[in-house]
Structures are given as C-alpha cells and as structure tokens.
Amino acid sequence: MMTRHGIADLPLPTRAAAVLVMVASYASAAEELPFETATAEMARAPLERVYDGTVEAVNQATMSAQTAGRIAEVFFDVDDYVEPGEPIVRFTDVEQQSALQQAKATLEEALARQKQAEAEFQRAEGLLESGSSSRREYDQALAARDAAVARTAAARSAVQTAEQQLEYTLVRAPYAGIVTERHVEVGEAVAVGQPLMSGLSLESLRVVVNLPQQAAARVREHKTAYILTGEGRVEAETITIFPFAHSASNTFTVRIELPQGQFALYPGMFVKVALVIGDSERLLVPTIALLRRSEVTGVYVVSADGDVRLRQVRAGNAFNDQTEILAGLSAGERVALDPVRAGIYVKSRAVSNDED
C-alpha cells in the first residue's frame, strides 16, 4: 500500500513512524560523510564602501647637511637597507677638528683666568673684613670674578658647539629603512641644509584615501577600515579623518594606519580600502567551504538525504573567517567545510554507481 499510494495514505501512527525512519536514515547518511558541514545562515555583517588608496611610509625623510664640508665617504646607495644609527655619509672634518681644539684652548684659558679672579676676590674679601681695603676694590674683584665665570661658561658652550659640529660630519640613519635616493657624490662640497640622502622605513605603513563628503560622517562614526590585498584583508589599527575638506575636490583626507608587518605592500602602491559605513543582513558561510577554480566559485551542498553536489555561487566580501554569498545558495542549506574531500567523495560515489 505504501508503494502504491505513498506515506500520505497511511494511518497517522504508521505515517509518523515511517517519517521517523526516513529522517533517521537521512541522519545516518549525513553522519557517514567523510567531512564536516556547516549551515549557511543570515547574520548581520558590516556594510562597506570600497575606495582607492595610496600606500605611504609613516617614517620617510631626507637627511640634510648640518655643517659645511666636502663629502669624504658615502656608505650606502639606493635600495640598500640601513640599520638605525649606522653612518651613511662622512664629511672631511679638518675645519671642525681645528675649531674644537681652539674652543678647548679658549676654555682652558677661561678656567685659568677664573681661578685667578677667584683668588683675587677672596683676598679682597679678607682685606675688606679686616678694614685694610675699600669697598670699591672689593666690588672690582667681585665683578672680575663674575666676568671670569661668565667667560668660562661661554667657552664651555663653544666647546659643545664645536663638538656638535664635529659630530655633524658623520651623518647617521635616524631609523631602520631603505635608501630611496642619493643626492651627493664623493668629493662634492656641500653647504648647510643641502640634501644628502633620502630613505623610508617599511616597518610602519599607512594608506591615504580621499573620501567623498557624503560618506565622511558615517565613516567618522564607525572608524573601521580594511585594506584589501592579494593575501586577504588587513584591519587598520587607527583611522584619522582630517577635519576639513579640500576646496577643489570637496573630499576629506583619511589616513589609515596599518599594524606592524609587511603584507606585501610598498610605498606608492595603489590598494583598495573597505570603509565601514554601517551593517546589514548577509548570507554567510565559512570561507574554507568555498572552492575556487579560475573565475568560478562554488560550494559542495549537502541535501537532506545526504546527496552531495557542487553548486556555483557568487561570493561577496569576506568578514574574518566568513564570506558573503550573493547568489546560488539559500539560508539553511548545508555546505561541506572541506571542498577537496567532498570532491573526492562525489567522484568515488559516481565510480561506485557506474560499477553497480
């Protein structure tokens, strides 16, 4: 009777028992699958707008001469990596060495005169106390001592200045980085302020985006951004939105700081930046469930009776370990979490059916 008329023609108790048997058989079939599954679910995910941005280095500078001289050595060239504090350019230092020796000699003279003035002051002070000297002589000795102290202080400052000028003849890297441009050659005479070498650090990068004014308020509210690279999405550490718009383009400059790391990004590159402007309901599946072959994206869908089939889908944005499905899948459907094993399983079932 069940074969001819189906389950619907059975009495209610018998019909319920038959349904339970079918469900149990489906569950048993699902349990025999050699891979795990997950259910496609609707969930709230960030609503994003994608803009073009430019990568730039946070630390980039041009080292300039702080003293005059002639270039004696250039230790690095373009594309060389420099450790922090390493010498990059050395000047001839004959003039600076002479100035330092002269300043030291002036300091020694000032110290000798200060010692003499101090002794004369002490004698004048003693004579004044004993009544053997006038107040005028005491004041002169005091003024001479103070003047000697001042000259000594000036001489010490001159020595420090000369030492600093000598130190300027050896230019050192302020931080670790890559040399991007070399402005001088050996033997060239340079003046104060003349550029010597340019460089940048790849350790700290940021992305600059020109944001339309319509989206500025919503981006300012959420302050969340992701850099889209070939290796995935990189979440920004901080976002700085300039408090004014450019009069020519009516756009706001947004500066997005990246976490420490390279991420295959280099200054000057163009990248896509996803800026969060709200959230919305999305159909999400685990990213590992997606099978990508050239331009085709698909998932292995597991039906209620345990049948496994490959289905093409249209994927959207990725959110952490979840990916949005725009078309090809419905909420509640189960997908295989290991597409490779699911493909092997489907092929083995097909071969087994052919043999039967």
CATH label of the domain that carries residue 175: 2.40.50.100
The reply to whether 88 and 195 lie within a common domain is yes
Q: Is residue 99 part of a domain?
A: yes
Pair 98, 139 in one domain: yes
Question: Residue 22: inside a domain, yes or no?
Answer: no
Q: Do 174 and 87 share a domain, yes or no?
A: yes
* 270 and 207 both lie in a single domain: yes
* 264, 327: one domain: no
pLDDT tens-digit readout, 152-176: 999 999 999 999 999 999 999 998 9
Domain-embedded: residue 4: no
Instruction: Decide if 174 is inside a domain.
Output: yes
Give strand ranges (E) for 221-321: 225-229, 232-235, 238-245, 251-257, 270-286, 291-293, 296-302, 308-312, 314-319
Residues 148 and 177 in one domain: no
Q: Give a yes or no: residue 229 inside a domain.
A: yes
Question: Is residue 179 very low, low, confident or very high in pLDDT (cuts 50, 70, 90)?
Answer: very high
Predicted local distance difference test score (pLDDT) of residue 356 = 57
CATH number for 325: 2.40.420.20
Phi, psi of 186 (to 5 degrees): -65, 135
Among 279, 309, 333, where does a domain finish? 279
Neighbour count for residue 21 (Cβ, 10 Å): 10
Do 203 and 289 form a contact (C-beta atoms < 8 A)? Answer: no
Is residue 224 scored above 90 in pLDDT?
Answer: no
Does residue 230 sit in the same domain as residue 286? Answer: no
Q: Are 282 and 41 a contacting pair, CB within 8 Å?
A: no
Q: Is residue 13 part of a domain?
A: no
**What is d(CA 17, CA 247) in angstroms, rounded to the nearest whole number?**
75
Same-domain status, 183 and 75: yes
- pLDDT score for 169: 93
- pLDDT reported for residue 16: 38
Structural domain contains residue 136: yes
pTM: 0.60
Residues 266 and 249 in one domain: yes
Q: Find the domain containing 149 and state its range.
A: 93-167
Residue 25, pLDDT score: 39
Residue 24 scores a pLDDT above 70: no
Task: Judge whether 9 lies within some domain.
Answer: no
Q: Residue 316 pLDDT > 50, yes or no? A: yes
271 and 303 housed in the same domain: no
Structure confidence by residue, pLDDT tens digits, 182-196: 999 999 999 999 999
Q: What pLDDT band is residue 54 in, cutting at 50, 70 and 90?
A: very high
pLDDT digits (tens, 9 = 90+) for 71-121: 999 999 999 999 999 999 999 999 999 999 999 999 999 999 999 999 998
Same domain membership, residue 273 and residue 257? yes
Residue 28: band (very low, low, confident or very high) from pLDDT cuts 50, 70, 90: very low
* CATH value at residue 136: 1.10.287
What pLDDT score was predicted for residue 206? 92
Total number of domains constituting the chain: 4
Same domain, 82 and 186: yes
Q: What are phi and psi of 41, to 5 degrees?
A: -130, 150
Q: How many CB atoms lie within 10 A of CB 111?
A: 15
